[in-house]
Amino acid sequence: MIRALSLILALTGSAAMAQDTVDSAPGAILRGLDKVNGQTVDVELRSGDTASVFGLDVALGDCRYPADNPTGDAFAYLTIWEQGQSQQLFDGWMIATSPALNALDHARYDVWVIRCMTP
């Protein structure tokens, strides 16, 4: 997981931020969008928990943020699947400031990271 985060940091131009300057948060705030009716919902999710976001189930593995700037960015490890299905639609890191870098690909719903819940 640390290697994936280091790669993401390098790709987003934050390579100067070493892995020892990144802290884990107890949870994250995510935003969901229903593209059909334009409805949005914000969801607070604790690490290790799963929540329903419209027709999707979203599990948060971890949320990390720069130790020197807790509100600067968020890197969340998410697993997403449709309710009642076992096949994953998304499994990986999402970055709050670059949601298109590694995004959920779903016809109706979108989910992205807003920020980590810092202690």
How many domains does the chain contain in total? 1
Residue 15: pLDDT over 50: no
Distance CA 97, CA 51 (A): 22
| For residue 6, pLDDT beyond 70 | no
pLDDT in tens, 88-107: 999 999 999 988 888 899 99
Is the Cβ–Cβ distance between 116 and 94 less than 8 Å?
no
CA count, 13 A, side-chain hemisphere, 59: 13
pLDDT at 8 exceeding the cut of 70: no
Domain that holds residue 105: 2-117
pLDDT at position 37 over 50:
yes
Burial of 49 (0-12, 13-18, 19+ CB in 10 A): exposed
